[in-house]
Structure 1
Amino acid sequence: MARLDLRQKLSILADAAKYDASCASSGAGGRTSLGGKGIGSTEGMGICHAYTPDGRCISLLKVLLTNFCIYDCAYCINRASSNVPRARFTVEEVVDLTLAFYRRNYIEGLFLSSGVIRSGDHTMEELVRVARSLRQDHDFRGYIHLKLIPEADPRLVEEAGLYADRLSANVELPREEALTQLAPQKDARAIRATMGRVRLKTLEARPDRKARTRPPRFAPAGQSTQLIVGADGAPDAEILDRSAALYGGFGLRRVYYSAFSPIPDASAALPPSRPPLMREHRLYQADWLMRFYGFTAPEIAGVAPDGMLDLAVDPKLAWALANRALFPVDVNRADRETLLRVPGLGVRSVGRILSVRRHRTLRLEDLARLTRSLDKVRPFIVALDWTPGGLTDAADLKARLAPARAPEQLSLF
């Protein structure tokens, strides 16, 4: 194979990394940028965008150490039997690229994953070497997200947490039996064990106010994972149940959902086409409801026919339409938990309502200033000068509130 220059490697390995969605950096502690806090150009191969909880958009260098892989996962474009261009960075090349991009303010951090080469231990050692060199040799203060190799020695996983802000081990498929069929070299038990180990180390690293010494820093931005949607036949209800179990069992910061994308020379065990991208979007919305709005997975999935979320309306509106007996609610009396279940009211809107109503009784015009979706809110609330009458129970309410044009989720690629 002809020797590749650095730009050619970056082109191949940045493109190969795009299928991993679990790279957002929400939850990371602030770091002082060596070159200032500003962000410069965000154009270039390997630079992706992630959003923090406060809405800030940050840029990460997102690459694979290599797309060579000894595993032959049927759903992966980089599987051993795939006929794709291959490349491999050295540890030093990744370090130099990260520092060069960071100093130019192109990025604020690094997301590094890899195909498995030689063994899980060897691959994890290389990933850790990159992070260790950045932190210890170059005093790198940017964000680092490392992908874990579950089959690697636990000591390597623990060392990774000393240098990385976030760690992630991808569950990949909602159904473990499907993982056994489509990725026989991966072990669901090993993935769970690795995630559990990260969870325990994260808890151990929490400072004790009474202790005189602080424990070593360990992955302060926690851990995340990814579920591929539409590759194994699992309905949305099953996917949400799995996500809820992952949040509860491993204290994950995020579960990311990635719509299955057909690949060349695919296995006959895989579906011939990708699921609607709007399905991925609805799962993210449902996930948001579980994390910030007090909904449970059974509540969301309980109103989904055949366990599939409605693609025409968002999950919160679908739940409200199926539970109209709980509405309308009085915005001047309802508690926070009840208001969060009103379609069109977000966390910030509810906070504003609770604050303003301490000083005055809310009218409909007040709500128009406090929320962006008054048309969606109106059928489900009562205000001083507004009652929806029969609108809440109108047979055509869904048709009135559904977008006039079918929603379309744009592809990242």
Structure 2
Amino acid sequence: MQYLFDHTGRRYLDLFGGIVTVSVGHCHPKVTAAAREQMDRLWHTTNIYLHPKIHEYTERLLATMPSHLQVVHLVNSGSEANDLAVLLARLSTGHFDVISLRNAYHGMGPHGMALTAHSTWKYNVAHMFGVHHAMNADPYRGPWGGARCRDSPVQTDRHCDCAAGHCQASQLYADQLAETLRYSCPKGRVAAFFAESIQGVGGTVQFPIGYLQKAEALVRDHGGLLVMDEVQTGFGRTGEHFWAFEGHGVRPDIVTMAKGIGNGFPLAAVVTTKEVAAKMSEALHFNTYGGGPVSSAVGIAVLDALAEDGCQERAGRLGTRLLHALAQLRDRHPAVGDVRGKGLMIGIELVAEPRGRQPLGTDAVGDVWEHAKDRGLLVGRGGHFGNVLRIKPPMCITDEDVDFAVAVLDEAFTAHLPQ
């Protein structure tokens, strides 16, 4: 479930979940049984032949979505899902140019690498044609934002002039998106705007409250679609909603999802409207393994486990508790520059000097990371500078796991961070 064991039998608390992929727990008995039962009955057949599991699963998946989203394309990974979303947006709007945000990560396929705005994940090959990156709306590291700007139980300690319930930073960042639309896109027309509900690989960056609503309005005014990337944030991980975009108050035209959808089994999806999907009838399109019998059976079992185990409620309750405890560590350790997130989508940014937000060097971050591992705690690393500890565990952790994680991190910070 939330634990992994090495070759000696030593146990580790997994707070990274296979890079935010194990949603309901390693080897969850319900999911494992569903896969085994389906494999004993029918392992694979091309989907030009009807099999009931794919239809049962897509109906179950659509029941979790807003009613205007009525079509599912099943694929195998988040990169495939985002590549297909780019194709859908370009076909349905008739426009070519696409906008994503700096610091975004949307995969390593041809379109995904173009959407991704991390030089550390980009190879020196042609991939950027028609994709533009707008300024990232980051209340901690960006030029605007502060202590009243995030939808999180824990705010940055950066000064903020925003009045309660009115985030000035969101408008300033939206103005930068408007500049990108005005100057970079042909005649101001765009096919789509891509955004993660919370940036994952980029270091659990949360946008200012209201930013995505403003971005959605701008993009629609310029002929484009809103594409929400829920590869890491979906399936209840943020606690308050099943889909994290619901917390932003937006109405996406396309939603991409992967990782937690299959609890580690290769499964992903693009969910969209009938109008957008209609363009796919103009030529043949096929995915050999997408929506196969076993992956569909696994997807159904994951949805069952999420509901039966109360994963969304647990993510909200324990995530909030963990965030508050980590904020206390930030107050005690000057090199903990920021604690942020929602539910069990959490980031801890380590800095060399809090006032200037200079990233902590990778060697020191690595020492913290290794210390935690040696004490039986697995966390991830992310952010452009590799200085953000990423906490995204299976959503079956306990209060005892939270206490253990905080104690180990406190010990690691004391041992390896500048005090």
For Structure 1 versus Structure 2, the TM-score category normalised by the shorter chain is: under 0.3
Q: Normalized per residue, which structure has more strand?
A: 2
TM-score (norm 1): 0.27
Report 1 or 2 for greater relative contact order, CA contacts < 8 Å, sequence distance ≥ 6: 2
TM-score (norm 2): 0.27
